[in-house]
Amino acid sequence: MFNNSIVAQSPDYFRNPLDIPITLAANFGEIRSNHFHTGFDIRTNAEIGYKVYAAADGVISRIKVSAGGFGNVLYITHPNGYMTVYAHLDHFNDAIAAYVKQQQYAKQSFEVELFPEASKFPVRKSDLIAYSGNSGASGGPHLHFEIRDASGETYPLNPAAFYKLEDTIAPKITAAYIYGIEKTTGIPVKYAVKKIKSGYTLAKDSVVVNNAMVGVAVEAADYMNRASNDYGVFEFTVKLDGKQIYNVKFDKFDFANGRYVNAFTDYKAIKTSDKTIQRLFRLPGDHNTIYHDLVNDGKISFTDSLFHLVEVMAADAYQNTTTLSFHVKGNHVTKAVPATTEEGRVFHYNQPNTFTSDSIQLNLPANILYEDLTFSYVEIPSAAKRYSATHVVQNANIPVHDSYEIRILPRNISTTLQPKAVIAYDEGKGVSGTKTSHWDGKWLVARAREFGYFYVMLDTTAPKITPVNVKQNSLLTTNNIKFTISDNLSGIVAYKGLLDGKWILMEYDPKNKRLQCTLDKQLAPGEHSLKITVADDVKNESVYLLKFKK
């Protein structure tokens, strides 16, 4: 039976963590770059500073401050074992903020991860714990809110099980695709859909394919009342001639499986056309736990020349459902041709794979590919500012689930400059990042988590430090001193501030390239110095000495 609703969970146990109604900027299970979204992004009217409350009784069990990721985040463990998470906060309440600051000074680090004793910060439902913000890798002011299950921090749950939001709108299916699966998932055929009284069908109801086995995929969206966002479809079920062959449901995730989003979606379509095509069949290397009751991994095999009824049902978390129905048959039944008959070397998804030439070595562990692929490699002669050939490894439109080792043999790098060498990565459009690298004899070694263009560059330029709201040798008119910091290649990895020779807390916001500190209001009048040191990944270091008067 098609289960199209989340099971209700103690609707009164958790309160709204804000004082304003819950309206979502993003939903649980939405498809993001390299992961599924794991909570509710609750709108805060594009402003920071809304009061954030404990959703239920519990203890603050974890506190984290980081430049990226969740930024300022609190974790509350509740007596029933559930955990709630409050992320991208602007600042904590006074007691928590004082504790965090004391730990930052003790560790001399802006970034801290703390696990206070249960007796340190007990909270009651509706206690003020923090203020909403835009910290970390947030794209705008909001509260990211999660509920995780009683087994620990590993499994986020769909908050829709605990909060009933107004939603009477069924998902919409805007396009259908059929993938031939004999050799590879390849290039799908797109089919237009049309709305009918019972849901959707294809513009031409009956489809004939020249494949012995196919998989179905869709472009689909879901909306809520009084909102224009696409909140993502909660559940898909596929039936063949009335029998279920596939189900995927976004009610619970395992953080370890987040990157499998690149198998659930057509990764190439996202990269090349920004289209989110959701596969309703499982690739062989996709080991996510979100699938249920699969028959032949959701793939359709043709053993006759008859038309077969395909039904794709899409549902949201509040039991709004729509169905796409059409008929399909195989024009002729052919025996699947193994991929090994194609030209080139085949990398099998479930085996370790290696590649070696005179100037590159690749070592891929098993199970970092989602399906077998015919490996391709091209070497392009060295270009300006590159200290190796450009190595085109497969292409950037094929996903890689986990990291693999890449070793490149550079050319003409003196011993003096070797510490400044990095392996640069791009997708064919120019360098977009570097890999932390180390030397192993004559080889420069790094780890990569994508395919594309790789080559060696030198980073000999130190980061740049620019004061924003202060001038040298001037009377300070603010207690908050701001700098812009940036780096040209390998990226900023360390920063430090010394006020009159003593460590001072510097807060780093990489998305705005901002480094700042707040002076003690009791700082003595007179002349002072603030020494800022910033280093990149190959230890190029810049120092800025600000002298000011208070």
3-state secondary structure of 274: coil
DSSP one-letter string for 448-480: ESS-EEEEEEE--PPPEEEESS--TTEE---SE
> Which pLDDT band holds residue 8 (cuts at 50, 70, 90)?
very low
Location of structure tokens 């700082």: 523
**Per residue, what are the HEC states of 489-548?**
CCCEEEEEEEECCEEECCEEEHHHCEEEEECCCCCCCCEEEEEEEEEECCCCEEEEEEEE
Which residue from 192, 204, 219, 195 is spatially nearest to 273, judged by alpha carbons?
219
Predicted local confidence at residue 428, as pLDDT: 85
| Alpha carbons within 13 A on the beta-carbon side of 18 | 24
> Which pLDDT band holds residue 340 (cuts at 50, 70, 90)?
very low
- What is the C-alpha to C-alpha distance for residues 21 and 537, in angstroms, rounded to an integer? 44
pLDDT tens for 235-252 read: 999 999 999 999 999 999
Average confidence score pLDDT of the chain: 93
- Asked if pLDDT for residue 267 goes beyond 90, the answer is yes
- Asked if pLDDT for residue 347 goes beyond 90, the answer is yes
Torsion of CA 84, 153, 37, 244, to 10 degrees: -110
Burial class of residue 21 in the structure, from the number of CB atoms within 10 Å of its CB (0-12 exposed, 13-18 middle, 19+ buried): exposed
- What is the C-alpha to C-alpha distance for residues 30 and 230, in angstroms, rounded to an integer? 9
- Asked if pLDDT for residue 4 goes beyond 50, the answer is no
Predicted local confidence at residue 9, as pLDDT: 55
Contact present, 385 and 425 (Cβ < 8 Å): no
- What is the C-alpha to C-alpha distance for residues 437 and 343, in angstroms, rounded to an integer? 33
Share of the chain above pLDDT 90, in %: 88
- Asked if pLDDT for residue 354 goes beyond 90, the answer is yes
Predicted local confidence at residue 411, as pLDDT: 87
- What is the C-alpha to C-alpha distance for residues 107 and 99, in angstroms, rounded to an integer? 12
- What is the C-alpha to C-alpha distance for residues 362 and 102, in angstroms, rounded to an integer? 46
pLDDT tens for 127-155 read: 999 999 999 999 999 999 999 997 767 89
Mean pLDDT across 331-352 = 67
3-state secondary structure of 398: coil
Q: How far is CA 411 from CA 290, 359, 360, 441, 444, in A?
A: 47, 9, 12, 13, 11
**The whole model's pTM is what?**
0.94
Mean pLDDT across 195-210 = 93
Torsion 195-175-180-31 (CA) sign:
negative
Vertex 270, ends 288 and 186: CA angle to 5°?
Answer: 75
Sequence-separated (6 or more) residues with CB below 8 Å from residue 1: none
DSSP one-letter string for 20-87: S---EEE-TT-EETTEE--SEEEE-TT-S--EEE-SSSEEEEEEEE-SSTTSEEEEEE-TTS-EEEEE
pLDDT tens for 402-460 read: 999 999 999 889 999 999 999 999 998 889 999 999 999 999 999 999 999 999 999 99
> Which pLDDT band holds residue 10 (cuts at 50, 70, 90)?
low
Predicted local confidence at residue 11, as pLDDT: 67
Please provide residue 414's backbone torsions phi and psi, each rounded to the nearest 5 degrees. Answer: -70, 160
pLDDT tens for 212-228 read: 999 999 999 999 998 88
Predicted local confidence at residue 342, as pLDDT: 40
First CA to last CA across the chain, in angstroms? 73
> Which pLDDT band holds residue 183 (cuts at 50, 70, 90)?
low
Predicted local confidence at residue 331, as pLDDT: 83
> Which pLDDT band holds residue 339 (cuts at 50, 70, 90)?
very low
- The pair of structure tokens assigned to 162 is 């605990």
- What is the C-alpha to C-alpha distance for residues 30 and 221, in angstroms, rounded to an integer? 10
Mean pLDDT across 308-324 = 97
